[in-house]
Amino acid sequence: MNCSIHIEAIYPAIDCDASSIKRIVGDKLTVAADIFSDSHHVLGAQVRSRCGRVPTSEWQVLPMVHKDNDRWQATLTLTQNTTVLVCIDSWRDAFGTWLEGLRKRMEGYLLAPFGVDEGAELLCRAVDIATGADLQRLATALVGLRTANTLLAAWEAVQDPALAGLVNRWLPRSDIVTSATLQISVDRPCALYSTWYEMFPRSQGRELGKPATLRQAAERLPALRAMGFDVVYLPPIHPIGLTHRKGPNNSLIAGPNDPGCPWAIGNAAGGHMAVDPGLGTLSDFDAFVATAAEEGMEVALDFAVQCSPDHPWVTEHPDWFKHCPDGSIKYAENPPKKYQDVYSLDFDTHDQECLWRALLEVLTFWISHKVKIFRVDNPHTKPFAFWKWVIAEVQREWPEVIFLSESFTSPNVARLLAKLGFTQSYTYFTWLNHAKELQDYMQELCYSGMQEYFRPNFFTNTHDILPEVLQTGGRPAFKMRLVLAATLSPSYGIYSGFELCESAAVPGCEEYLNSEKYEIRVRNWNQPGNISDLVTKVNRIRTENLALQRLDNIHFFVSENACLLIYGKRHNDNILLIVVNLDPHNTHHGTVNIPADFVGILPGSRYEVVDLLNDAVYDWGECNYVHLDPQVQVAHILKVHPPS
């Protein structure tokens, strides 16, 4: 008799599609599903998994355990940086069904006569196939069952707890049903936990108006590593166009010594696979990457899919660009912004395959120069299909490559880009300032299902964005946003000058005044008022506390003061409580309520907390008083020491 088996509600599938699910090497992946049939037969189930990048790899099998109702699950340990294919099999378990009937008769639920022939026949079929130790255990059960002359004796003969599994392992299965195949991206740890620093190499010199070379810029890497950064992100390092080159503050006219905007890529010296001569040569870039590696850092390069009017592609492949009705090539626009120095590529070109391959070649070229992280500029303005294809092409050969999506756009588009393969994503954190909106956003990132595929990177600021709170809040605002970014998200970043509390903006907007995008800056990294020591301390706290290296472990707590954000992160016995004053201008105080079960104590108990920012020790319980003066201390990062 046939039975219809259904496999539904598969976890961790998102939107009925698990191709976007992300995990980290070392994670345990729980695969679960509702499995049921239209009969009383007992079912068996297993998870099969194999490496998706090696078509000839063998399937590994793991039995699923029936949890409750129709829910089954199994847990895999992910050990390789690769794509893992996973599917679920279910079948009618003939021996299990027979065992269930025997149990019911033993318990008196079934009074009909019971014979051992069916069970013995199934065992016999398994014995004929089995080998090794399995054969011995199966044969022992078969002899016991055949010689049993009472119901009790038959029951005792099949009490080996592993027996049902052994029969299932060796007995040919009937009515087997297989789920759709899930695809899990297993990334290296840096994909989840990383600490980014954005810097313009040309601004790392000491002489006003003179660009630094890459070798000079490399001299700053030890200081960045000492502050705790493990990724240094470089805006485009390629030759910069001369036609319509922008001057200071995005002016339309550039002087003879103005360096231009690095995102206007390409001139007679080359395009996306060349280094700007002012920065040096490819050898100098290789030396920069090598120095970073010696310091324990990785280099992230900007991948900007656009060209200056002087890019070699403009003359070699004019059909790759969008044209105006008069035949001229269109410059790029993002209203109200206009980019007269940039041409946008036309992904609808009839030569689409060659264009896509050329862009893939750009990525593989820099990978050959030991770049394994790319920050992608405005991916939402290019076809989704291209990103799905190019990321898959790269990661098929280099699964360790990480792509960061710089997509400040609608939530649906940002989420889709993550599902298409982007490893990390910029977020709306930059503009969130109030306790409720921060809490709501974190709940969405961590517990709505987004945590399965969307990895946030909380940048405090960027070369494009100087948020209002940093323009008006002074040093306390920089300290506050640093603590928030570094403790809410396992990956975060700052842009050069943040540690100096640079806050001068173009009036009425979020653009930096005298932006580094259009001119060379020279900074005194030790100038009075800098917060480099705090950056160093916060990054060290992140390194030493595993609770801050995960996303899906945050819990928010209650305070009657809306200007205090209180949350905790816990990983095994590493427990942190963070309290942040969100108002950089005023002192705030109030009570903080911490449930006893979060810190693992009995209700009413007391425990010790140590503030990792200043080593102060406090006696805490379920209700605690906090007082934060932003001119003195904007936050507590408290490590919990529960009583023995």
Tell me whether residue 281 is in a domain.
Answer: yes
For range 155-161, the mean pLDDT: 88
Check whether 75 has a pLDDT greater than 80.
yes
Check whether 1 has a pLDDT greater than 50.
no
- Say whether both 299 and 238 belong to one domain: yes
Least confident of 1-5, 521-525, 637-641: 1-5
Tell me whether residue 402 is in a domain.
Answer: yes
Tokens for 125, please give them: 């079929």
- Say whether both 621 and 524 belong to one domain: no
Which positions are annotated as active-site residues? 377, 406
In tens, the pLDDT along 219-252 reads 999 999 999 999 999 999 999 999 999 999 999 9
Which pTM value belongs to this model? Answer: 0.94
Contact 228, 540 (CB under 8 A): yes
Contact 229, 539 (CB under 8 A): yes
pLDDT of residue 113: 53
Check whether 467 has a pLDDT greater than 90.
yes
Contact 157, 192 (CB under 8 A): no
- Say whether both 461 and 509 belong to one domain: yes
Share of the chain above pLDDT 90, in %: 82
Range of the domain at 637: 554-641
Of the candidates 436, 423, 487, 527, which has an alpha carbon nearest to the alpha carbon of residue 634? Answer: 487
pLDDT of residue 41: 85
Check whether 388 has a pLDDT greater than 80.
yes
d(CA 21, CA 579) in angstroms, rounded, equals 32
Residue 88's Cβ-count burial label (10 Å; 0-12, 13-18, 19+) is buried
What CATH number is given to the structural domain containing 610? Answer: 2.60.40.1180
pLDDT of residue 70: 95
Phi-psi map region of 604: left, alpha, beta (phi>0 left; psi -120 to 50 alpha):
left
pLDDT of residue 115: 65
- Say whether both 384 and 483 belong to one domain: yes
pLDDT of residue 335: 79
What CATH number is given to the structural domain containing 467? Answer: 3.20.20.80
Check whether 502 has a pLDDT greater than 90.
yes
The 8-class DSSP code of residue 58 comes to: P
pLDDT of residue 211: 93
- Say whether both 520 and 594 belong to one domain: no
- Say whether both 367 and 503 belong to one domain: yes
Check whether 16 has a pLDDT greater than 70.
no
In tens, the pLDDT along 291-313 reads 999 999 999 999 999 999 999 99
In tens, the pLDDT along 569-593 reads 999 999 999 999 999 999 999 999 9
Mean residue pLDDT of the chain comes to 94
To the nearest 10 degrees (0 to 180), the angle between helices 117-127 and 94-106 is: 140
- Say whether both 521 and 625 belong to one domain: no
For range 354-383, the mean pLDDT: 98
d(CA 449, CA 13) in angstroms, rounded, equals 9
In tens, the pLDDT along 26-56 reads 999 999 999 999 888 889 999 999 998 888 8
Looking at the 3D structure of the chain, how many domains does it have?
3
pLDDT of residue 64: 95
Contact 141, 157 (CB under 8 A): yes
| Residue 152 binned pLDDT confidence (cut-offs 50, 70, 90) | confident
Contact 175, 92 (CB under 8 A): yes
Share of the chain above pLDDT 70, in %: 98
Write the CB contacts of 126 (distance below 8 Å, at least 6 apart in sequence): 95, 138, 166, 167, 170, 171
Which amino acid appears at position 234 of this protein? L
pLDDT of residue 18: 59
In tens, the pLDDT along 167-202 reads 888 887 878 999 999 999 999 999 999 999 999 999
- Say whether both 558 and 545 belong to one domain: no
What CATH number is given to the structural domain containing 63? Answer: 2.60.40.10
For residue 336, say if its preceding peptide bond is cis, omega within 30 degrees of 0. Answer: yes
Task: Look at residue 476 and give its three-state secondary structure.
Answer: helix
